[in-house]
Amino acid sequence: MLPAYFGTLTHTVSPGDSLFNIAKKYNTTIENILKFNDIPNINMIRTGQQIIVPMSPPESILYTVRPGDSLYNIALRHGTFVDNLIRFNYINPPYIIYPGQQLIVTASLK
């Protein structure tokens, strides 16, 4: 399991839940939830299933990557550090992001 930089919680799936609404409820991304769980099909979670959700700092926002974005210019635009983007989005080298990807953007956490 990955190290959780702000902790984790366990969410028990209720009828009608989807990874989309679970991620939205906890201000995280589907991609981060998938990194902490063995979920072979994101459209098939079951009632009663327990899902580990990596927590995000309370002041964080979700940002959707646009064409031409880089971790550097996203960090600069939002007053945070590239390292925060890497850490809270569990991005591994070579640190590739893609348009449409959602990222957790934290405050500077100085």
Domains and CATH numbers, the chain: 8-54 (3.10.350.10), 61-105 (3.10.350.10)
Q: Name the pTM for this structure.
A: 0.90
**pLDDT tens string 37-90:** 999 999 999 999 999 999 999 899 999 999 999 999 999 999 999 999 999 999
Q: Which two tokens stand for residue 86?
A: 């890497």
**pLDDT tens string 75-100:** 999 999 999 999 999 999 999 999 99
Secondary structure percentages of the chain, helix, strand, coil, to 5: 25, 15, 55
